[in-house]
Amino acid sequence: MTEINIPRLDLNDYVHGSDEQKAAFSDQIGQAFTETGFVTIANHGMTKELMDELYVEVKKFFSLPDEVKRKYEIPELAGQRGYTGKGKEKAKGAPVPDLKEFWQRGQTVTDGDPVKAQYPDNVEVEELPRFNVVTREVYECLERAGKHLLKAIAVYLGLDENYFDTKVHNGNSILRGIHYFPILDPDALAPDAVRAGAHEDINLITLLIGASADGLEVLTRNDVWYPVKTQVEDIVVNVGDMLQRLTNNKLKSTTHRVVNPPRELMKASRFSVPFFLHPKLEVDLSCLDVCIDAAHPKAYSDMTAGEYLDERLREIGLKM
Ligand SMILES: O=C(O)CCC(=O)C(=O)O
Ligand SMILES: [Fe+2]
């Protein structure tokens, strides 16, 4: 038997619940994050209409001709805004690139915070006015849900509930629309080529909007790949390397991947929309004192989020 704890939690229990419900939510998310690093979340605050329209717009974008999409490719931004074409990103240490293309949208600073100067502008798609509106709306919804989840995690860690608030306010988070394109000739595929190679996410936590097809798998502690199943209306949330680093490995950034479909389904596309929740670039990721003791000596050097991100973007081939 493969033991794995991916509980389904109701975010309403934390946001609108009694003290007992809030405490239970913190415990459950904390437990799951110390064991498997993954949960699924119901009542995350995004309506079904918004999620449906997001998929309509994301599909429209990736259906645009390649030469139109390429107008939105900005190599000097290391894929952080706009379009990144097929064959660009690979998992750290992987021999071949992932079988995907993607779009990224970043923070919109509206309150005069000088941090705005650090972020490149978002790229608007001229051909699809609703795409721009809907992706911004989804970004804001997932950011709000993520901030609640970080409060619950802070409580679990014994920190002040608001510990993360200033660190992630106007943070460097990214919404990514991914298209895993059809594999038209499976025989021509490089033997190691997969939709998304085994990897860990770079950021604090990832909130993933239900993929349009199966394929996401997590690596369990006994080295078995285990498929992540969700109800379509839920989101999947996992720990990233920044949170693992900050918590000195108490919370686990679990390795995951997206496998290729069986041969008969290879001509179908797969879409997914992860939101990578990042702090501001200057935030210190040094291991928290509450996570260091004799049994758990400090495992990482001190670094800011910006320094760490830079190192990781080079490793995955997005930054030269
Ligand atoms: O497409 C998915 O289901 C997961 C994508 C993912 O893990 C990522 O982009 O980091
Ligand atoms: Fe991932």
How far is the C-alpha of 54 from the C-alpha of 28, rounded, in Å?
Answer: 30
Residue 2 in domain: no
Specify the ligand 1 atom closest to the Cα of 228: 3
Q: State the residue range of the domain holding 293.
A: 8-316
Look at the chain and report how many structural domains it folds into: 1
Half-sphere exposure for 91 (CA within 13 Å, toward CB): 18
Tell me, in angstroms, the distance from the centre of ligand 2 to residue 208's CA. Answer: 9
Stretch 156-182: mean pLDDT, rounded?
97
Q: What is the pLDDT of residues 129-141, one digit of tens each?
A: 999 999 999 999 9
Query: What contacts 297, CB < 8 A, 6 or more positions away?
Result: none
Here the tokens at position 195 are 């939709």
- Would you say residue 305 has pLDDT above 90? yes
Stretch 201-215: mean pLDDT, rounded?
90
Q: Are 144 and 45 in contact (CB under 8 A)?
A: yes
The whole-number pLDDT of residue 174 equals 98
- Would you say residue 1 has pLDDT above 70? no
Residue 251 in domain: yes
Here the tokens at position 186 are 């499976």
The whole-number pLDDT of residue 211 equals 73
pLDDT-derived band at 2, boundaries 50, 70, 90: low
Give percent of the chain above pLDDT 70: 98
**Closest residue to atom 10 of ligand 1, CA basis:** 201
How far is the C-alpha of 77 from the C-alpha of 312, rounded, in Å?
Answer: 14
Tell me, in angstroms, the distance from the centre of ligand 1 to residue 319's CA. Answer: 19
CATH number at residue 292: 2.60.120.330
Burial degree of 128 (CB within 10 A; 0-12, 13-18, 19+)? middle
The whole-number pLDDT of residue 32 equals 96
Residue 205 in domain: yes
How far is the C-alpha of 61 from the C-alpha of 234, rounded, in Å?
Answer: 23
Specify the ligand 1 atom closest to the Cα of 201: 10
Tell me, in angstroms, the distance from the centre of ligand 1 to residue 21's CA. Answer: 30
Q: Are 206 and 41 in contact (CB under 8 A)?
A: no
The whole-number pLDDT of residue 49 equals 96
Residue 49 in domain: yes
Q: What is the pLDDT of residues 270-291, one digit of tens each?
A: 999 999 999 999 999 999 999 9
Chain-centroid distance of CA 302 in Å reads 23
- The SS3 of residue 155 is helix
Residue 163 in domain: yes
Stretch 35-45: mean pLDDT, rounded?
96
- Would you say residue 87 has pLDDT above 90? no
Q: Residues with beta carbon inside 6 Å of ligand 1?
A: 178, 196, 201, 208, 211, 216, 256, 258, 272, 274
How far is the C-alpha of 147 from the C-alpha of 165, rounded, in Å?
Answer: 7
Stretch 101-112: mean pLDDT, rounded?
97
Taken in order 256, 258, 262, 263, is the CA torsion positive or negative? negative
Stretch 293-313: mean pLDDT, rounded?
95
The whole-number pLDDT of residue 213 equals 75
- Would you say residue 318 has pLDDT above 80? no
How far is the C-alpha of 168 from the C-alpha of 181, rounded, in Å?
Answer: 33
**What are the C-alpha distances in Å from 250 to residues 155, 207, 223, 242?**
14, 20, 19, 12
Residue 3 in domain: no
pLDDT-derived band at 105, boundaries 50, 70, 90: very high
Q: Where are the alpha helices (DSSP H) in 64-176?
A: 66-70, 129-156, 165-168
pLDDT-derived band at 317, boundaries 50, 70, 90: confident
Residue 261 in domain: yes
How far is the C-alpha of 312 from the C-alpha of 305, rounded, in Å?
Answer: 11
**Closest residue to atom 1 of ligand 1, CA basis:** 272
- Would you say residue 242 has pLDDT above 70? yes
The whole-number pLDDT of residue 210 equals 77
Residue 236 in domain: yes
